[in-house]
Copies of this chain bind each other. A is one copy, B any other.
Amino acid sequence: MAEIASPRTDAPVRRPLAPMRPTARLDFATLGGVLGAFALIGTAIVIGGSPGAFVDLPAMLIVLGGTATVTAISYSLGEMLRSSGIVLRTLLYHREDASQTALNMIALADRARQRGSLDLQNVLQQLRHDRFLTKAVQLVVDGTPGDEIERVLGREVEATLQRHQRSAGILRRAGEVAPAMGLIGTLVGLVQMLGNLQDPSAIGPAMAVALLTTFYGAILANMVFLPLANKLDRNSGMEAQVKHLVSLGAASIGRQENPRRLETLLNTILAPGDRVRYFD
Contacts and interface: CB of A to CB of B under 8 A. Distances in A.
Given A58-B47, A69-B36, A211-B194, A29 B184 contact: no
Interface in A37-54: 37, 40-41, 43-45, 47-50, 53-54
Contact of A181 (B71, B197, B222): B222
A65 interface: yes
Contact of A189 (B48, B71, B82, B271): B48
Contacts of A156: 268
A231 interface: yes
A34 B195 contact: no
Given A77-B29, A188-B48, A222-B181, A40 B53 contact: no
Interface stretch (A101-109, A118-126, A200-208, A249-257): A200-208
Contact of A192 (B32, B48, B183, B228): B48
- Closest A-B pairs by Cβ, 3 of them: A33-B73, A197-B204, A74-B230
B74 A227 contact: yes
A268 B268 CA distance: 28
A107 to B, nearest CB: 22
Contacts of A47: 58
12 contacts: A29-B75, A32-B72, A33-B71, A34-B73, A37-B73, A50-B192, A73-B223, A73-B228, A73-B231, A177-B227, A184-B222, A195-B208
Nearest to A187: B215
Interface in A211-227: 211-212, 214-215, 218-219, 221-223, 227
Given A44-B185, A72-B36, A75-B234, A205 B195 contact: yes
A212 B191 contact: yes
A62 interface: yes
A64 to B, nearest CB: 10
Given A44-B62, A61-B40, A197 B187 contact: no
A196 B204 CA distance: 7
A62 to B, nearest CB: 5
Contacts of A184: 41, 215, 218-219, 222-223
A263 B40 CA distance: 53
A69 B41 CA distance: 11
